[in-house]
């Protein structure tokens, strides 16, 4: 509800919350067409309530021709036909709110679909009133047949598309069907404010702001990055991110709309370093409330695509540096998975063999005990794993398919494609949710739009819920620690001290607040590892808060079992 009272103070509820991400196409099919939808989500509202999460981030459900699975919006005020109707959406938000679950919608406003009315108009003529809603330029060279500069799209190929109607080029940092909006045009910013207000007035509680760090751009000549350096590849995020007016535009959106609601924003912040992260999230700056940073999920990648071995020391360093820098200043989103990332099991744990459950629980502890708002991606709470692709024909993601269209002509690289995708593809997280061991994993009554992972017979919600020691019930317990006043307070306010940063097997840290602490130990390896307790902690009145093995010994220096993880609370 809009609040124009000048004494209104936002409650910042997200600091006490755990958010669950739903990728609607793959969550649950409610109408039997093989595609996940809003009726499917409604069927699972009790499930979400039982898990105990506080908010849902719903990936885009707006009208879209699906060039990028909904991240290409053709009408911001309507629901995609495949996902249902506006009435379904209203029933869903009502059902969520009745269960005290907030709803965070995806705000995709760096670009629209090329089928959006604004773009349809914009491309008609150079003097169309919508022309400046997008970024149009004349081409270079004779007859302007070369793109305005050599920037490349994040999906491969030039970031410009020639349009013969007006003999000009439009910018698209993603697919050709995703033209970039021109945020320098005040009318575009006004439109975005109106869209945000429209959804907030319908009761939405916040927004996950898609590629928000890209909205302000300087169109430089070939390969010149904003700081003046030359980038010969012309494809790095540094070309497009954190442009000259980004902070001004975010503050404007905040001041005009967001600050009048008890809502939250989480920005997808590509290419963000800590200094810039603080600019986005420091409360006094009134820009975004929180951000997703990428440092930890890039430690096992070369140039964001080519997988390299997982290195726990680098991974910890990436996470810990944010913990330290943001303390009492900004606020971050904590995540290991989402619809753009492979599954975390295997990726951050190495081969887990018969220790899948311990490994999944250990990862959960390592993340949820940090300061920030933890995100659980659908299926993470039952330990879903990556799919084993055998060929490009089994893939769906536009990014993966575009990469194939480039590498298929290069013999050696062509052979590396499937192994690389098996580590990296965005498709892993987009496989249908595994609800039961029955047909189609209980996702749909009919053949799903995307083949289910055959391991659904063993890994599914039904199995996990019925197992007292299963991953699902473990997540419930972990999430409930944010409701228990003493643990919740330490998690929200506590300092963060890391031990043994150079240890290649263990992630050990301590969270402290007002004389009480949480001591967190995670063995990231599928082997026994020695733990030596830090000398500077006296562990008065230790209480075991959570662990992934049942028979945990009293706190002591000892040998940890494969993936063993636990949290002790004690008085300082
Ligand atoms: C980030 C989204 O998470 C991703 O799925 C999408 O392809 C791009 N933004 C473009 O919208």
pLDDT digits (tens, 9 = 90+) for 18-77: 999 999 999 999 999 999 999 999 999 999 999 999 999 999 999 999 999 999 999 999
CA nearest ligand 1 atom 3, residue: 340
Quick count: other Cβ atoms within 10 Å of Cβ 224?
A: 16
The C-alpha atoms of residue 530 and residue 557 are separated, in whole angstroms, by 8
Task: Give the nearest ligand 1 atom to 399 CA.
Answer: 7
In angstroms, the Cα distances linking 520 to 233, 546, 558, 567 are: 43, 10, 15, 5
How confident is the model at residue 233, as a pLDDT? Answer: 53
Task: Give the nearest ligand 1 atom to 268 CA.
Answer: 1
Place of tokens 């230790």: 542
Quick one: which of 220, 221, 237, 329 has its CA closest to 274?
Answer: 329
Angle subtended by helix axes 274-281 and 246-256, to nearest 10: 20
CA of 71 to the centre of ligand 1 (A): 6
State which of 174, 241, 270, 337 you would mutate to test the pocket of ligand 1, scoring each by most atoms of that ligand within 8 A of its C-beta: 174
CA triplet 477, 482, 485: central angle to 5 degrees?
115
User: Over the range 105-122, which residues count as b (16 or more CB within 10 Å of their CB) and which as e?
Assistant: bbbbbbbbbbbbebbeeb
CA nearest ligand 1 atom 6, residue: 71
CA of 204 to the centre of ligand 1 (A): 21
CA of 482 to the centre of ligand 1 (A): 30
Do the Cβ atoms of 558 and 523 come closer than 8 Å?
no
How confident is the model at residue 221, as a pLDDT? Answer: 63
Going 368 to 372 to 376 to 380, the CA torsion angle's sign is negative
State which of 59, 68, 291, 337 you would mutate to test the pocket of ligand 1, scoring each by most atoms of that ligand within 8 A of its C-beta: 68
Catalytically active residues are 210, 268
Q: What is the 3-state secondary structure (H, E, C) of 39-88?
A: HHHHHCHHHHHHHCCCEEEECCCEECCCCCCCCCCCEEEEECHHHCCHHH
**What tokens were used for 421?**
């995708």
In angstroms, the Cα distances linking 496 to 138, 365, 493 are: 52, 15, 10
Task: Give the nearest ligand 1 atom to 108 CA.
Answer: 11
The C-alpha atoms of residue 89 and residue 86 are separated, in whole angstroms, by 5
How confident is the model at residue 236, as a pLDDT? Answer: 61
CA of 69 to the centre of ligand 1 (A): 9
The C-alpha atoms of residue 323 and residue 326 are separated, in whole angstroms, by 6
CA of 552 to the centre of ligand 1 (A): 42
Quick one: which of 518, 458, 461, 509 has its CA closest to 484?
Answer: 518
At residue 548, what are phi and psi to the nearest 5 degrees? -100, 5
How confident is the model at residue 440, as a pLDDT? Answer: 98
Place of tokens 């298929």: 408
Beta partners for residue 519, in sequence order: 510, 568
Bin 451: left if φ > 0, else alpha if -120 < ψ < 50, else beta: beta
CA of 205 to the centre of ligand 1 (A): 21
What is the value of pTM for the model shown? 0.97
Relative to beta strand 506-513, strand 516-523 is antiparallel
The C-alpha atoms of residue 356 and residue 369 are separated, in whole angstroms, by 20
Task: Give the nearest ligand 1 atom to 110 CA.
Answer: 11
Relative to beta strand 373-377, strand 160-163 is unpaired
Residue 181 DSSP SS3: strand
* H or E stretch at 547: strand 540-547
State which of 214, 297, 340 you would mutate to test the pocket of ligand 1, scoring each by most atoms of that ligand within 8 A of its C-beta: 340
Query: How many Å separate Cα 548 from the centre of its chain?
Result: 25
The C-alpha atoms of residue 88 and residue 140 are separated, in whole angstroms, by 49
Place of tokens 């751009």: 217
Task: Write the DSSP assignment of 403-460 as a string of letters.
Answer: HHHHHTTSHHHHHHHHHHHHHH-TTGGGSPP---SSGGGGT-SS--SSPPPGGGGTS-
Do the Cβ atoms of 8 and 260 come closer than 8 Å?
yes
Per-block mean pLDDT, blocks of 10 residues, the chain (572 long):
88 97 98 98 98 98 97 98 98 98 98 98 98 96 87 86 97 96 98 98 98 89 54 62 94 98 97 96 97 96 84 98 97 98 97 97 98 98 97 93 91 92 95 98 98 98 98 98 97 98 98 98 98 96 98 95 98 95
Which residues touch 175 (CB under 8 Å, ≥6 apart)? Answer: 67, 68, 72, 153, 155, 398, 402
Residue 89 DSSP SS3: helix
How confident is the model at residue 142, as a pLDDT? Answer: 86
Do the Cβ atoms of 280 and 272 come closer than 8 Å?
yes
* H or E stretch at 368: helix 356-368
**What tokens were used for 145?**
């047949």
The C-alpha atoms of residue 452 and residue 388 are separated, in whole angstroms, by 11
**What tokens were used for 49?**
């309530």
Domains and CATH numbers, the chain: 13-110+181-389+425-478 (3.20.20.80), 111-180 (3.90.400.10), 494-571 (2.60.40.1180)
**What tokens were used for 28?**
């649950």
Task: Give the nearest ligand 1 atom to 398 CA.
Answer: 7
pLDDT in tens, 541-560: 999 999 999 999 999 999 99
CA nearest ligand 1 atom 11, residue: 71
Q: Which residues line ligand 1 (CB under 6 A)?
A: 68, 71, 108, 174, 210-211, 268, 339-340
């Amino acid at each position: 509800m809009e609040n124009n009272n000048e004494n209104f103070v936002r409650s910042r509820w997200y600091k006490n919350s755990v958010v669950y991400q739903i990728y609607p196409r793959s969550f649950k099919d409610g109408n039997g067409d093989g595609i996940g939808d809003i009726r499917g989500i409604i069927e699972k509202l009790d499930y979400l309530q039982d898990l105990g999460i506080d908010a849902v981030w719903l990936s885009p459900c707006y009208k879209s021709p699906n060039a990028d699975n909904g991240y290409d919006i053709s009408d911001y005020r309507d629901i995609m036909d495949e996902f249902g109707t506006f009435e379904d959406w209203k029933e869903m938000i009502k059902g969520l709110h009745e269960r005290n679950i907030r709803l965070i919608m995806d705000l995709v406003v760096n670009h629209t679909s090329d089928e959006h009315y604004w773009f349809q108009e914009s491309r008609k003529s150079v003097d169309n009133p919508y022309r400046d809603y997008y970024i149009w330029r004349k081409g270079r060279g004779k007859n302007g047949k070369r793109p305005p500069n050599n920037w490349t799209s994040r999906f491969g190929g030039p970031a410009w598309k020639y349009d013969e109607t007006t003999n000009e080029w439009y910018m698209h940092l993603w697919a050709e069907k995703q033209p970039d909006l021109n945020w320098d045009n005040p009318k575009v910013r006004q439109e975005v404010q109106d869209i945000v207000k429209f959804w907030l007035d319908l009761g939405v509680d916040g927004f996950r702001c898609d590629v928000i760090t890209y909205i302000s751009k300087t169109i430089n000549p070939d390969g010149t990055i904003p700081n003046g350096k030359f980038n010969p590849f012309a494809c790095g995020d540094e070309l497009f991110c954190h442009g000259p007016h980004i902070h001004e535009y975010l503050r404007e959106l905040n001041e005009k709309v967001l600050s009048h609601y008890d809502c939250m924003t989480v920005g997808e912040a590509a290419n963000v370093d800590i200094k810039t992260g603080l600019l986005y999230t420091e409360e006094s700056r009134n820009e975004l409330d929180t951000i997703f940073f990428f440092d930890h999920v890039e430690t096992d990648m070369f140039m964001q695509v080519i997988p390299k071995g997982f290195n726990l020391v680098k991974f910890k360093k990436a996470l810990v540096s944010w913990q330290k820098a943001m303390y009492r200043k900004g606020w971050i989103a904590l995540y290991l998975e989402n619809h753009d990332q492979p599954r975390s099991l295997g990726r951050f744990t190495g081969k887990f063999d018969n220790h899948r459950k311990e490994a999944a629980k250990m990862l959960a502890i390592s993340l949820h005990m940090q300061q920030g708002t933890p995100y659980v991606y659908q299926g993470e709470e039952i330990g879903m794993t990556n799919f084993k692709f055998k060929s490009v024909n089994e893939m769906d993601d536009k990014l993966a398919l575009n990469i194939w269209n480039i590498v298929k002509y290069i013999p050696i690289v062509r052979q590396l494609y499937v192994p690389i995708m098996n580590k990296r593809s965005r498709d892993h997280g987009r496989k249908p949710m595994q609800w039961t061991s029955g047909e189609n994993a209980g996702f749909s009554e009919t053949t799903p739009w995307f083949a289910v992972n055959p391991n659904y017979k063993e890994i599914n919600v039904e199995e996990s819920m019925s197992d007292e020691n299963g991953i699902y019930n473990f997540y419930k317990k972990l999430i409930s620690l944010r409701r228990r006043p003493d643990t919740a307070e330490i998690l929200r306010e506590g300092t963060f001290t890391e031990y043994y940063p150079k240890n290649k097997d263990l992630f050990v840290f301590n969270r402290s607040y007002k004389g009480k602490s949480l001591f967190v130990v995670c063995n990231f390896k599928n082997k026994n590892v020695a733990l030596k307790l830090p000398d500077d902690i006296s562990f008065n009145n230790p209480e075991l808060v959570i662990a992934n093995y049942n028979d945990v010994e009293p706190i002591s220096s000892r040998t940890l079992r494969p993936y063993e993880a636990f949290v002790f609370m004690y008085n300082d």
